[in-house]
Homo-oligomer: A and B are copies of this chain.
Amino acid sequence: MINASLAGLIEEARQHRQISRFYGAPFGLDGVLREEFLDLFAQSPATLEGIAAMPSSALGTSRLEAGPAEMEHVLEVFRKHDVRYLFYTGGNGSMGTALQMVEAARDRGYELCVIGVPKTIDNDLAETDHTPGYPTTARFFASAVRDIGADNRALPGQVEIVEVLGRNAGWLVAATSLARHRPDDAPHLIYLPEVPLPLETLLADIDRVYHRLGRCVVAVCEGQLDEHGEPFGADVREGSRGKLAMNLGHRLAMLAAQHLKLKTRSEKPGLLGRSSWGDQPAADRAESRLCGRAAVRAACEGVSGSMVTLVREPGLPYAVSTGLAPLERVAFIERLFPEAWRAPSGHDVLPEFQQYAAPLVGPLRHYELLA
């Protein structure tokens, strides 16, 4: 959805005389530091429309964590090219960088307007009803669990662990609950990474489902930890945002096979969840574009140091408008899956969450059964 926001930014920027040139920085700050810029006003309408529909990021992205030296360098580049508006797209880490940029420019007396444009599949950004990108990835994983559930129903006698993106936040794994249509549909078990999961609980849960249905599909977040705060002995990689298990689903499948003597397997759609060019909810694309446009309008009205938010209208049918929140209230703040929407066990979700998520994800087709 970052491409749809980009398209929104460009189409709105064209409407404003004070924006004479509009550049994209390939690979984010990396591009700025290399003084590489793409002339966004020079892109053909066909290219822009093509890109607006695409997943991934046409501009590219970066995991660079900018320190004071990089900030200084970035401001030098901006000064040299007379860059006065900065639109910074991403999640709470990116909003943190945007805020640091505001502060660095202010400290140096450089007039720079900074607007944050929200985009993260993880939905873990504060102050906004949801983040662009979340509905599409939520739909991907709900559909994936539905499909793996149909496979598990057709060839039972197996436990399936489906690993879902989301790092420390349960928003995506929670959305797999939308795959449930019949009482015995997958996912039979959902675990939220906000709540530690003792291995014994997991094994007892799987055993119970398997003995009832003869099959079991488990949706687990890649960031799930056990009661010792460890990822069940999975291999771990050090990323820019901390440690992350690389093979949690497989590890849990091995543990279940070993302890329960059941046939198990695991699937890890992984990055496909954020990059599939498949089944995007139209609303997600439209809202991303809306956020891009709102960012440019806010900048041209003199706002700076804020992030665009999505504000849900009360009641149904589902409708949103955009708002603004100070960067201070979103920077580096991780909005976890709310306790109020967790089932009493701490695992699984309450219907209130499904009411929140269903209009974002849109209706899923469900499988017919022979009578």
Contacts and interface: CB of A to CB of B under 8 A. Distances in A.
Contacts of A354: none
B370 A59 contact: yes
B368 A154 contact: no
Contacts of A237: 257, 263, 265
A59 B146 CA distance: 17
14 contacts: A43-B370, A44-B371, A51-B370, A55-B150, A56-B154, A60-B155, A143-B276, A147-B277, A246-B254, A246-B265, A267-B271, A268-B268, A269-B272, A278-B279
A58 B370 contact: yes
A255 B248 CA distance: 17
Nearest to A143: B277
Interface residues of A, number: 63
* Ranked 5 nearest A-B pairs via Cβ: A267-B270, A56-B150, A50-B368, A151-B275, A57-B154
B271 A54 contact: no
A157 B62 CA distance: 10
Interface string A150-164: 110111110010000
A47 interface: yes
A368 B58 contact: yes
A182 interface: no
A153 B263 CA distance: 37
A285 interface: no
A253 interface: yes
Nearest to A235: B254
Contacts of A370: 24, 26, 38, 40, 43, 47, 51, 58-59
B278 A42 contact: no
